[in-house]
């Protein structure tokens, strides 16, 4: 079994999409061994606990600096011996030392079509820039923020009537599809990074039964 640790900061809907994919049998060979939050009030913690997944809280505010928080976070993660660490709406920039420790087994979902709009407030910035296409990106995490090798992206149209809330909701629906897909590929051992780019091994294989989250 591939052991997965999920890091969250808030709502945890991407975490929930991965849990749902597991429950639907769409992540064979994957075990979600822990959910860790950097905020005690992260709503996703309740959902994880309700799903029977062990949870931990490590509040960044209690640490002197980023290095100290990241060292403690790494220890907390390592205790679960993960094969994969998934950032799902995790809102703390990670130090190079942390990223190096988990490099190659650290995924993030970012709410833009990278390399456009790295960093925060992506939906507002997409509207401001007037792009007609927006979306989300799953990537391997590297020390350079939001610049790691890209695993999968999904695009959505930007409508004239959009505000940041409506655009974020349209993107989020796609996040819930592509993140479980990326995790599945990782668990299947089908992702290889060559010269900073992701190769999907056995891409010609028959597609797995379409596993998409069901609307609430």
Residues that bind ligand GAR (CB under 6 A): 8, 10-14, 44, 88-89, 91, 109-111, 136, 172, 175
Q: Which lies closer to ligand GAR via its Cβ, residue 64 or residue 87?
A: 87
Residues 5-64 that bind ligand NHR (CB under 6 A): none
Place of tokens 């790494």: 74
Q: Are strands 30-37 and 133-140 parallel, antiparallel or unpaired?
A: unpaired
Task: Give the three-class secondary structure for 211.
Answer: coil
- Please choose which of ligand GAR, ligand NHR, none residue 172 contacts, taking the beta carbon within 5 to 8 angstroms, the exact cut-off set by kind: ligand GAR
Asked, as a colleague might, if the bond just before 115 is cis with ω within 30 of 0, I would say yes
Q: Is 110 known to be catalytic? A: yes
CB-based contacts of 198, cutoff 8 Å, min separation 6: 140, 149, 150, 151, 191, 192
| Helix H or strand E segment including 8 | strand 2-8
Candidates 24, 72, 145, 164; binder of ligand NHR (CB under 6 A) is 145
Task: Give the three-class secondary structure for 120.
Answer: coil
CA 55 – CA 49 distance, rounded (Å): 7
- Please choose which of ligand NHR, ligand GAR, none residue 162 contacts, taking the beta carbon within 5 to 8 angstroms, the exact cut-off set by kind: none
1 secondary structure, DSSP code: -
Candidates 2, 22, 47, 110; binder of ligand NHR (CB under 6 A) is 110
Shortest Cβ distance from residue 28 to ligand NHR (Å)? Answer: 27
Q: Determine if 93 is a binding residue for ligand NHR (CB under 6 A).
A: yes
Binding interface with ligand NHR (CB under 6 A): 87, 90-94, 99, 108, 110, 119-120, 141, 143, 145-146, 148
Which active-site residues does the annotation give?
110
């Amino acid at each position: 079994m591939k052991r997965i640790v999920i890091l969250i900061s808030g709502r945890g809907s991407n975490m929930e999409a991965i849990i749902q994919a597991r429950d639907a049998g769409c992540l064979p060979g994957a075990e979600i061994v822990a959910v860790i939050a950097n905020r005690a009030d992260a709503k996703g913690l309740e959902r994880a606990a309700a799903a029977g997944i062990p949870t931990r809280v490590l509040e960044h505010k209690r640490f002197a600096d980023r290095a100290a928080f990241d060292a403690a976070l790494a220890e907390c993660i390592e205790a679960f011996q993960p094969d994969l660490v998934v950032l799902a709406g995790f809102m703390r920039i990670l130090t190079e030392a942390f990223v190096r420790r988990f490099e190659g087994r650290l995924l993030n979902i970012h709410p833009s079509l990278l390399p456009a709009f790295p960093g925060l407030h992506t939906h507002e910035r997409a509207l401001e820039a007037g792009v007609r296409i927006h979306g989300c990106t799953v990537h391997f995490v590297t020390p350079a923020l939001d610049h790691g090798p890209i695993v999968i992206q999904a695009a959505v149209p930007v409508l004239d009537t959009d505000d940041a809330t409506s655009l974020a909701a349209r993107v989020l629906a796609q996040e819930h599809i592509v993140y479980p897909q990326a995790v599945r590929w990782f668990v299947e051992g089908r992702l290889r990074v060559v010269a900073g780019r992701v190769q999907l091994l056995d891409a010609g294989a028959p597609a797995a039964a379409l596993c998409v989250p069901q609307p609430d």
